[in-house]
Structure 1
């Protein structure tokens, strides 16, 4: 029963350990790239799983108590909450932790140096483009990897799908044309 409640290390020790591991992992992920969870490949996924196991002891230290684990989780969530709020309200903090957008393609052409720098393969990007309505990169004006890992795809205007307003405008124009044609055909012969 004592293993449940007796902390193996002080709360201050646990706080320093947790914050140090959090900052280190955040910096490493920032350096490693911007891909979001949905864009992780198998290798990225394996690294994420192993990383969580590797840093476990660094966070909890020689403490195997329930309370120690819960304290570590509370500190981790609190630190993350502060960082996320700071990144959202202080632009410089957001740039440090999340980075800036990176243009991967412009005017229908990939930018190979940006793809290499971000570790994105053209084949993977082509799949993501097709999921967003492009047949290929040639159908795009801009493809940008956002700091959070999401992909912004701006299609060329002629490649964009028609929207409800476009269809309504087209129907109104066709109605006017039909009325004019009807007026011409019913007029004097």
Structure 2
């Protein structure tokens, strides 16, 4: 019970470790693309679990104390709150953290290179059309890959 509250390092090291690992994971998740974040598959879930395990020691530095856990958890929650506040207030931060929507098709023309670059399969593209009761991409004004990984479809206006 002695080591339950004893830190193995100064408190500020836990805060610094949490900030560095948070930023690293944010950058890696942004680089992995919108579809990986927005549409979790079983493989993505395994990745997140393993990623959490991989960075655990980077955050706690081998410390297993309750005090260290409280400092790290509080630091991560505070950092996440700060990022949320910054993205809500500043468009440039929002763009950096969340990215921007990407046009996958316009006026009935599919941009296959964009689909490939964004890791969107033709099956997922067609599924989004079906969800919007559209049979043919020619009936679409624009199809977008949103920041959250969802595919939104704007149908052509009937005249």
> TM-score, normalised to structure 2's length?
0.89
Q: Structure 1 residues 93 and 38 mapped into 2: Cα distance closer, same or farther (>3 Å)?
A: closer
Stretches of structure 1 lacking an aligned partner (at least 5 in a row)? 159-189
Residue aligned with 1:135, SS: coil
Q: In the alignment, which residue of structure 1 is the partner of 2:73?
A: 73
Q: Structure 1 residues 42 and 108 mapped into 2: Cα distance closer, same or farther (>3 Å)?
A: farther
* More divergent stretch after superposition (56-65 vs 146-155): 146-155
Q: In the alignment, which residue of structure 2 is the partner of 1:119?
A: 119
C-alpha distance in 1 between matches for 2:119 and 2:97: 18
Q: In the alignment, which residue of structure 2 is the partner of 1:107?
A: 107
Q: In the alignment, which residue of structure 2 is the partner of 1:153?
A: 153
Give the drift of 1:36: 6.5
Would the aligned equivalents of 1:36 and 1:150 in 2 still touch at CA under 8 Å? no
Higher relative contact order (CA 8 A, sep 6+): 2
C-alpha distance in 1 between matches for 2:74 and 2:26: 17
Would the aligned equivalents of 2:100 and 2:147 in 1 still touch at CA under 8 Å? yes
Q: In the alignment, which residue of structure 1 is the partner of 2:134?
A: 134
C-alpha distance in 1 between matches for 2:136 and 2:66: 53
Residue aligned with 1:157, SS: coil
* More divergent stretch after superposition (63-72 vs 39-48): 39-48
> TM-score, normalised to structure 1's length?
0.76
Would the aligned equivalents of 1:36 and 1:148 in 2 still touch at CA under 8 Å? no
Give the drift of 1:143: 1.0
Q: Structure 1 residues 128 and 4 mapped into 2: Cα distance closer, same or farther (>3 Å)?
A: farther
- Asked which structure has the greater CA Rg, the reply is 1
Would the aligned equivalents of 2:107 and 2:142 in 1 still touch at CA under 8 Å? yes
The alignment yields a C-alpha RMSD, in angstroms, of 1.7
C-alpha distance in 2 between matches for 1:150 and 1:88: 20
* More divergent stretch after superposition (22-31 vs 140-149): 140-149
Give the drift of 1:103: 0.5
Q: Kindly tell me the number of residue pairs found equivalent between the two proteins.
A: 158
Give every structure 1 segment of 4 or more consecutive aligned residues whose post-TM-superposition deviation is greater than 4 Å.
none
